[in-house]
Amino acid sequence: MNKSKTVALVLAILLPGIDRIYLGYTGLGIVKLITAGGCGIWWIFDIIQVATGKMKDAQGNALV
């Protein structure tokens, strides 16, 4: 099932960690939640990756 780029971006902005879980990266999502988005650095990185279309889901599919 294809994941939505819009949903991933909103989750990345509002709920750091939940975006990774949504994309199928459960372990990374939990670590991101615990570290508060890597003290903000990982959070910003993920927002940029999703917004520019470089983020893929856990199966390697592009976000639609």
Q: Which residues of the chain have pLDDT under 50?
A: none
Whether residue 59 lies inside any domain: the answer is: no
Whether residue 19 lies inside any domain: the answer is: yes
Confidence at residue 40, expressed as pLDDT on a 0 to 100 scale: 86
Instruction: Please give the structure tokens belonging to residue 33.
Output: 């939640």
Exposure string over 36-49, b if 16+ CB within 10 A, otherwise e: ebbeeebbeebbeb
Confidence at residue 47, expressed as pLDDT on a 0 to 100 scale: 95
Whether residue 15 lies inside any domain: the answer is: yes
Whether residue 20 lies inside any domain: the answer is: yes
Confidence at residue 16, expressed as pLDDT on a 0 to 100 scale: 87
Burial label, 2 (beta-carbon count in 10 A; 0-12, 13-18, 19+): exposed
DSSP, collapsed to helix, strand or coil, labels residue 36 as helix
Whether residue 11 lies inside any domain: the answer is: yes
Domain count, the chain: 1
Q: Whole domain around residue 16: which residue ranges? A: 5-51
What pTM, to 2 d.p., does this model score?
A: 0.90
Confidence at residue 48, expressed as pLDDT on a 0 to 100 scale: 96
Whether residue 58 lies inside any domain: the answer is: no
